[in-house]
Amino acid sequence: MFVHIRELAFKYPNAKESTIKDFNLTIDQGEIISILGESGSGKSTILRLIAGLEMPTNGNIMVGDHCMCSNSSFIQPEKRGVGMVFQDYALFPHMTVEDNIKFGLQKWPRKDKKERIGEVLELVNLEDYRKRYPFELSGGQQQRVALARALAPKPKLLLFDEPFSNLDADLQIRIREELRRIIKATGVTSIFVTHDQDDSQALADRIVVLRKGAVAQIGTPSEVLGTDCSFDERLPVKPRILSRV
Amino acid sequence: MKWFRTLKLTMNMWTVLSIIFVLLVLLPNLSIIVQFFSEPNENWLHIREYMLQQYIQNTLVLVLFVGFLTLVIGTSLAWIISAYDFPLRGFFQWGLILPLAIPPYIGAYTYHGILNYTGVIQTSLRNQFDMTVNQQYFNIMNMPGAIFILTIFLFPYVFTITKAFLARQSTALVENARILGSSSWRIYFKVVLPISRAAIIAGVSLVVLEVLNDYGVVSYYGIQTFTTAIFQTWFGMGDLQSAVKLAGTLMIIVLFLLVLERIFRGRRRYSFTTTKVKLLQPVKLEGKQKWLAFSYCSFIFLIAFLIPIAQLLHWATLTYKQFFSNEFWGLIWNSITVAFIAASMIVVIAVVISNFARLNRGMLAKTFPKVTILGYSIPGAVIAVGIVTFFTAIDRELFDFYEWLGLQPTLVISTSIFMLIFAYVIRYLAVGYNSIESGFDRIGTNFTEASRMLGMSVTKSFFKVDMKLIRGAIFGGFILAFIDIMKELPLTLILRPFNFDTLATKAYQYASDEMIHQAAIPSIIIVVVSAMAIYVFHHVLEKE
């Protein structure tokens, strides 16, 4: 067991109800997990809690042998060794692709830095775009830069917040395949949240269905989405591709 | 255990500095509140018995009339310019903001200079037409005169806020009213005024705060208000204790007005949402109406900007030699130095507090931004009293300390330029803060979070990412604060060290000493610099 989340709970200061209630999950090393839920189900909040961008009201998060947070301790996001790809990518607009990737490698020796930048750019097929600025790239390219930037410091765990929500439908399908290839090639443990069942099915080893801040179901894609017909009724989220047609 | 965890995490440099800065802003104000309740002396009993009523009455008359007149002029101009097209409309859109560049105290002595016995009007009548007029009709140095001056130089506050609101938010309602066949007067009273209530109240409140802050106009025209009374009891009678009581009373009035504003404005905010806006299409006016609209705008522009500027320029041609004296360059140097230091401090404090407020949740993060705005609502004279009492108290403590060290004990801080700069920072922190906060609002917290996920601490993220993205906002905040400080009068008059003059104090002093011509050049420099601020502000605003 690589990631171990126990009794996680979270409440925004002025909210009446908890956003996350008693969330438990264990993840094996190298596994790809998808957290599937409607908007407002608290799926992005879980990601932010694991990243350290929010402080839970209760619960423990362990990654590897390290306790990321408990009721008595809390490790700041910059010290966690967790990477994240943001929904809108959050590429620094005042830096080139190369500088964006280099940003996370500040403590690396110069030679290793250069090598690593080359490696990750090759991985995402953007070697020729080093000197470009984010606004000079297409949406799909920006996303790949964001992925390369998150992968560069070799995080123990990689988080994706709605990674496909800003992409066209056909691009979405292509990138999905590519993303799975890249993640599996690096062997990094990953969690991504989405509201799209197709995304979950194509990418994930296991799916966690979240409803109102609590786990409703956990299993492999076929267990969760494949055979269980009643699921669609319970989760009124249509696949994006269908809803666009 | 959990609170300890939270405490440990939130206690970083940003939090600690924010708390220190906020305390520094609050302490002088608290010092007034504490001393307000001290045992009254004989002077105060005298003031309360015989004079206080007059102060309150004059102050209220000024506030009410200036408030009402700026409301009428500001909203009517805003409506005419937003809804109709007529000759020079494009020019008036920004030209009618220009009166704001003339600080009312400069306007006050300029108009006095135009209208008095030796002024251009009376001398022309005497020399050209051999006419002598009754002085009574040309005396501006009275209550109606002060109301006139404050109205024509402050109405742009109401004008700009209402115009911005009308241009972006009223389109659907106004167009519907037009289709339904309402006349333009009916639309103005039945639609425009009610829907822009929040914007109008916001504008008028700014005017009212400026009127309460004013010292230059009322003291030049010899009207007893709270600010002049604070000056007199303090410097005339040498009674700081009673000055504190007056300041405290004025502070209570201001707080009361702020609460009143909240109630009137209701839950509506005057700022508009930045989502899709449809601009109001102006209707082209024809014939008599066209010239009526044009004349109205021209008349206001003439009396509120062109005439005083022309007069100042004329005086400047008589005294231009002054420009080459060392003393004059000393004034410019003083003005720039204090404004530069204070504006830099404002920017640093504003950045620290706004960065703290946006990255944290909870009570402190919510209340701190409100404290930064406090100083802008409180009249300069009140802040000055608070700061002097506060620093004298500190000096007294240090007095013993110096003695203990075996040094010659003197008053160090309360006679230094530091006190003045500190006062500027409190008074104009809001100006810098608003600009920087809106910069942070635009970039959101995503970049900071991305940077932290890549291993940078909050502080490193700020220097490597956030600061570079809000450079423009920081610069804008600096410029606006810098210029407000350059024009400032009451604080500077009270708190400047012995023999220290700025352009503003010197101009005011020349005018008070009946050397109006000599006041022209420093006044023009202040006006030009302020006009530049207006340009920067609206240029930045328009772009965004």
pLDDT of amino acid B452: 93
In chain B, what residues touch A78 (CB-CB under 8 Å)?
A: 452-457
Of B6, B450, B455, the CB nearest to A90: B450
Determine contact: B456 vs chain A, CB below 8 A: yes
First to last CA, chain B: 46
Q: Is residue B192 a part of any domain in this protein?
A: yes
pLDDT digits (tens, 9 = 90+) for A70-105: 888 899 999 999 999 998 899 999 999 999 999 999
Of A90, A106, A149, the CB nearest to B447: A90
Measured on CA atoms in the order B457, B460, B464, B468, is the torsion positive or negative?
positive
Nearest CA-CA partner of A191 in A85, A87, A88, A100: A85
Give me the number of domains chain B comprises.
Answer: 1
CATH of the domain at B113: 1.10.3720.10
Residue B24 has pLDDT above 70, yes or no: yes
pLDDT of amino acid A234: 42
pLDDT of amino acid B518: 87
Q: HSE on the CB side for B307, CA within 13 Å?
A: 21
In chain B, what residues touch A53 (CB-CB under 8 Å)?
A: 449, 452-453
Among A185-189, A200-204, A222-226, B405-409, the range scoring the smallest mean pLDDT is B405-409
pLDDT of amino acid B273: 45
So what's the ipTM on this one?
Answer: 0.87
- Residue B23, φ and ψ in degrees, nearest 5: -60, -40
Strand A82-85, strand A214-219: pairing: unpaired
DSSP calls for B156-182: HHHHHHHHHHHHHHSHHHHHHHHHTT-
pLDDT digits (tens, 9 = 90+) for B477-523: 898 889 889 989 988 988 888 889 999 999 999 888 888 888 899 99
User: Does B310 or B438 have the greater pLDDT score?
Assistant: B310
In chain B, what residues touch A76 (CB-CB under 8 Å)?
A: 9, 452, 457
Determine contact: B361 vs chain A, CB below 8 A: yes
pLDDT of amino acid B431: 86
Minimal Cα–Cα distance from B472 to chain A, Å? 13
Among B36-40, B109-113, B340-344, the range scoring the smallest mean pLDDT is B36-40
Residues 52-91 of chain A with CB under 8 A from chain B are 52-53, 55, 57, 71-74, 76-79, 82-84, 86, 88, 90-91
Determine contact: B3 vs chain A, CB below 8 A: no
pLDDT of amino acid B542: 55
Copy the structure tokens of residue B334.
């003083």
Tell me the longest C-alpha to C-alpha distance in chain B.
Answer: 91
Could you give the percent of chain A with pLDDT greater than 70?
92
| Chain A, chain B: beta-carbon pairs less than 8 Å apart | 73
At B194, is the pLDDT very low, low, confident or very high (cuts 50, 70, 90)? confident
Determine contact: B363 vs chain A, CB below 8 A: no
The CATH class of the A25-42+74-244 domain is alpha beta
Among A95-104, A156-165, B178-187, the range scoring the smallest mean pLDDT is B178-187
**Rounded CA separation A64/A55 (Å):** 20
Q: Which residues, including other chains, have CB under 8 Å from residue B489's CB and lie 6 or more apart?
A: B103, B105, B215, B216, B380, B504, B505, B508
**Rounded CA separation B104/B488 (Å):** 11
**Rounded CA separation B166/B179 (Å):** 18
User: Does B323 or B253 have the greater pLDDT score?
Assistant: B253
**Rounded CA separation A133/A94 (Å):** 7
The domains of chain A are located at 25-42+74-244
Enumerate the H helices of B89-239 as residue ranges.
89-95, 104-115, 120-129, 143-154, 156-169, 171-179, 184-187, 193-195, 197-213, 216-220, 226-231
In chain B, the residue whose alpha carbon lies closest to the alpha carbon of A58 is B2
Q: HSE on the CB side for B3, CA within 13 Å?
A: 0
pLDDT of amino acid B267: 57
**Rounded CA separation B505/B501 (Å):** 6
DSSP calls for B366-413: HHHHHHHHHHHHS-HHHHHHHHHHHHHHHHHHHHHHHHHHTS-----G
pLDDT digits (tens, 9 = 90+) for A28-55: 999 999 999 988 888 899 999 999 999 8
Q: Based on the number of CB atoms within 10 Å of its own CB, is B134 exposed (0-12), middle (13-18) or buried (19 or more)?
A: exposed
State whether B452 and A53 contact (CB < 8 Å). Answer: yes
- Identify the residue among B454, B457, B467 best suited for mutation to test binding to A, counting A beta carbons within 10 A and taking the highest: B454
Residue B296 has pLDDT above 60, yes or no: yes
